């Protein structure tokens, strides 16, 4: 039986304001780290801690920006009510726009040849073998290219 490492994380859409007193709205999400291709590589020592953190930052920006394909209707698309909480909706929209800009800037920093593997493996959760095949690369070459891309993301995010 495979042991699963579950972590409790804060949902990417939730803002945490350290200086704010009182309760803050946060959702905790349980994540199986072993299911992520990036987590799998890090667990086996193929990535440095800085590379793993940079990849996780890219994935968080991707999720926060809402760039993943939707499979159901967007229930949050309704206009915000004119009652209290409208400012929170505006803050969430600004956070989403910020994440969108960071995500595209990070892929641009990775470079045109390296952004493809970042998007497929880190954001899309595609297995390395599948990404190599889709990109027309030789077997077992994706890990080397991904580490080069992650090194550029480390410089971009400053996680080194």
Q: What is the pLDDT of residues 64-110, one digit of tens each?
A: 888 877 666 666 665 555 555 555 556 667 888 898 999 999 999 99
Spatial contact of 95 and 66, defined as CB atoms under 8 Å apart? no
Report how far Cα 47 is from the mean position of its chain's Cα atoms: 16
How does DSSP classify residue 27? -
* Residue range 142-160: mean pLDDT, rounded: 93
| Cα three-residue angle 36-75-71, rounded to 5 degrees | 45
Question: What is the distance between the alpha carbons of residues 11 and 42, in angstroms, rounded to a whole number?
Answer: 22
Give the pTM.
0.70
pLDDT of residue 35: 73
Going by pLDDT thresholds of 50, 70 and 90, the confidence category of residue 114 is very high
């Amino acid at each position: 039986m495979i042991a699963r490492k579950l972590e409790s994380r804060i949902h990417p859409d939730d803002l945490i304001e350290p200086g704010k007193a009182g309760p803050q709205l946060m959702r905790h999400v349980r994540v199986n780290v072993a299911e992520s291709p990036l987590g799998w590589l890090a667990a086996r020592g193929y990535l440095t801690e800085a590379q793993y953190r940079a990849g996780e930052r890219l994935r968080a920006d991707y999720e926060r920006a809402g760039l993943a394909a939707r499979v159901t209707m967007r229930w949050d698309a309704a206009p915000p009510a004119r009652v209290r909480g409208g400012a929170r909706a505006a803050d969430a929209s600004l956070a989403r726009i910020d994440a969108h800009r960071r995500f595209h800037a990070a892929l641009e920093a990775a470079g045109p040849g390296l952004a493809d593997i970042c998007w497929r493996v880190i954001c899309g959760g595609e297995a390395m073998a599948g990404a190599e095949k889709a990109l027309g690369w030789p077997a077992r070459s994706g890990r080397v290219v991904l580490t080069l891309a992650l090194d550029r993301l480390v410089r971009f995010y400053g996680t080194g």
